[in-house]
Structure formats: C-alpha cells, structure tokens
Amino acid sequence: YAKPDVSKKVRYNRNVQEDKEEREEKEVEIYESVDAIGDYHSDNQSHGGGPHTERHPPAVQRRPFRDAALCLAVLCFLMITGIIILSTYYNLVALETDQLQTRYDQLSSNYSQIQRKVSEKWCPDGWKRSGCSCYFKSDETKTWFRSRDDCRQRGADLVVINNKEEQKFVTELSKDGKFWIGLREEWRQEERKWEWVDGSPLTEMFWASGLSQDNWYTIAAICCDQQEKWTQGRCDYEYKKWICEK
C-alpha cells in the first residue's frame, strides 16, 4: 500500500475549513434576512391586528377616489339646493300671479260699476229715477202744448211709456191727479194716428174703454183714471198737470 500524503491532507482540511467558514457566513446572512422579514411581519401584525388582517392600498392610491366622491357629493348638494330654490321661487310667482289676477278682477268689477254709474246720468233735484230715466211731476196745470214747452225748457220732453213697468211707475206718480203724457193724435196720410213725441210708434196701449174715436179736434193722452188706464183730452183747451222725462 502506498503511504498517504500528509501534506495533501492538510491542504484538504484547510480547504474544508475555508468552505465551512463560507457556509457559516452565508447562513448568517440568510438568518439576518429571515430575521428582517420576521421583523417586518411582526410590525405589520402589531399595527394590523394579526396575520390575517386585510391589506389596504396606500393612502396615496385611495386619495383620488375620496376626492371624486367628495366632488360628487358637493354637486348633488348644489343640485338639490338649486331645485329647492327654483321650486320656492315658482310657488311665490304662482301665488303672486293669483293675487294679481284677483286684484285685476276686483278692479275690473269696480271699473264696470263706475262706468255704469257714469253712463247713468244723475237726476236733478225734484226729479225721480226709474231705470235709466229721470221723471219730473208738475204741481201746476197747463195745456198739452204749454206742458210740453215746460218739459223742453227743462231739457226733457213729455213722458213716453214704452212698457208695463214704466206704465206702473207713471201711474204711481199720477195718483193725485191726471197728467198729460207725450202721446198725441196726429194726421198721417189723411188719417189720424197716435204717436209719441219722440216719433216712436204706439206699441203698448193702456186705453180705457168707451173712448170716442171721432174727434175733430187735436187730442192727447192723459194718465190715468181710477183703473190706471189712459183717457183723452183736448190739447189746446184742457188744463192738466204733466210729467216730463229725460
């Protein structure tokens, strides 16, 4: 057998020793790395509440979402505020419009009343109103012609009776006597016709019964007898009271 080379063995041991030291250094580095990772996990567990705590993205990444939500909330608030303001304004305008319409209707009604009063002339002292006319009853007596002259001087004429309501009113005025009215018999186309002083035809008649139709003299109507009917009288001869109308 050959003798072992002692010198080689020493070198081998020296190499082994060097390899052992390198392994120990590497193990130390590995242990330090593991310890650093363990410390990092320990810190996370101490701040996060345990190994299973949910990890959140950094605050820098969450900020844009928070800003967007805040802007959206502000826009919604402004929109709701605008709607409330517009609704309130609309209600105020509608209320004001209703008030103006009511005021307009009142003014229109007042204007109509004032216009009606202005159109209806006021009766002078001593005259009485019925409908749209004023009536004057005399206390003295004259012929029909003189009576008509007196009415004209007062800016009127002898009364013209157009309907039953006016006949009733004139009858009430003439209860204390008989009065000339504005109805006279006129010659028209070779015949005698009754005609009112304003030229209107005789449509409503309230004649008493039994009156003569063969008078050769000019006659006029007289209001009224006890039955509230018209009678006749000579225009240029008989003296009666009279009633004027304007």
Burial of 219 (0-12, 13-18, 19+ CB in 10 A): buried
Encode pLDDT of 141-151 as tens digits: 999 999 999 99
Domains of the chain by residue range: 1-55, 57-119, 128-208+216-245
Q: Which of 6-10, 195-199, 209-213 has the highest mean pLDDT?
A: 195-199
Dihedrals φ, ψ of 17, to 5°?
-65, -40
Select the more confidently predicted residue: 52 or 92: 92
CATH of 128-208+216-245 among 3.30.950.10, 3.40.50.2000, 3.10.100.10, 3.40.718.10: 3.10.100.10
User: Cα angle vertex 148, ends 143, 163, to 5°?
Assistant: 110
3-state secondary structure of 107: helix
pLDDT above 50: residue 10: no
pLDDT above 70: residue 165: yes
pLDDT above 80: residue 98: yes
Contacts of 223 (CB under 8 A, 6+ apart): 161, 170, 171, 174, 178, 179, 181, 230, 243
Dihedrals φ, ψ of 112, to 5°?
-65, -40
pLDDT above 80: residue 117: no
pLDDT above 80: residue 50: no
- Find the radius of gyration of the CA atoms of the chain: 63
pLDDT above 60: residue 188: yes
> Which pLDDT belongs to residue 9?
46
Select the more confidently predicted residue: 96 or 36: 96
Q: Mean per-residue pLDDT for 192-215?
A: 79
pLDDT above 60: residue 48: no
Dist. CA 180–CA 147, nearest whole Å: 8
pLDDT above 70: residue 58: no
pLDDT above 60: residue 203: yes
Contacts of 231 (CB under 8 A, 6+ apart): 178, 208, 211, 221, 222, 224, 225
* Token pair belonging to 68: 């967007």
- Please state, rounded to an integer, the average pLDDT across all residues of the chain: 78
User: How would residue 29 be classed by pLDDT, with cut points 50, 70 and 90?
Assistant: low
> Which pLDDT belongs to residue 194?
85
